[in-house]
Amino acid sequence: MLLGFTLGAAVGAVLGLTGAGGGVLAVPALVLGLGLSLPEAAPIALVAVGGAAAMGCIAGLRRGLVRYRAAALMAAVGALCAPLGMWLAHHLPVRVLIVAFCAVMVVIAVRMLRQAGAAGRAADDAHAEHNCMINRLTGRFRWNLRCSATLAGIGATAGLFTGMLGVGGGFLIVPAFRQFSDLTMQASAATSLAVIALVSSATVAGSLAAGASLAPSAWAFIAGTAGGMFAGRLTAARLPWQWLQRIFAWTVLAVAAALFARHFV
């Protein structure tokens, strides 16, 4: 129980600090730390990450950081695509899922390292044209077909991975916001948490309806994740974002290597 709580707290802290990555670390933590299989770990990770994300989302809403219309669109499309991911998870061999998971982790880590090393991003964003642009007078997106299609595509991809691998999708959403919109880092993280909470809730409901259940150790992990999220959100504003990205990226690479080694070496 204590190990589950500790692992959950670490995952929640990452989610709170970055607005992303909690899910991609939750599944390996459950597999490597508690000895669960990937199908067993996925619903637990979704409950833990989804609940913690909801806490962060509420805080973001209070501060006016969440782009709730964008989050609603992405979550709706993601919830529609998540069942396809769940179907794939039940019909693909576990080793294939592990390889896919490790590949996703490596892509995430490399992307985050590149972003952390990019100089002058904030200055470039002031003049760059993105698919989704914020109206500086209202603080909301300027909605058009290109922006709607971009957000729907991000939501669909996040939902597919949520259903297939039991991850919240924040590892895709935050980098995608940074790539295709001019949202600030804080708004990107807060909106990502809203999408994670909504899509995870829908996917968990589907898993429970299909007969999934949670053991006592799973609830300890979930409680730890909630506590870690709270601590991470309090600390995030005090730490340099690039520093956090680098630490998270190297952690993801190390976890991916350990997960791959456990199943193939």
Domain limits for position 115:
2-264
Please check whether residue 125 is in contact with residue 43, taking contact to mean a CB–CB distance below 8 angstroms. no
pTM of the model: 0.73
Q: How far apart are CA 102 and CA 105, in angstroms?
A: 5
Q: What is the mean pLDDT of the chain?
A: 80
Confidence of residue 1 (pLDDT cuts 50, 70, 90): confident
Tell me the per-residue pLDDT of 78-97, one tens digit each, with 9 for 90 and over. 889 988 988 888 888 888 88
Number of folded domains that form the chain: 1
The predicted pLDDT at position 123 comes to: 46
Alpha helices in the chain (DSSP H): 2-18, 22-28, 34, 38-62, 68-91, 94-117, 121-125, 145-165, 170-180, 185-209, 216-236, 241-264
Which of 187, 188, 190, 179 lies closest to 121, judged by CA?
Answer: 179
* Residue 32 structure tokens: 């490597």
Torsion of CA 13, 19, 23, 28, to 10 degrees: -50
Q: What is the pLDDT of residues 133-148, one digit of tens each?
A: 888 777 788 899 999 9
C-alpha to C-alpha distance for 123 and 131, rounded to whole angstroms: 18
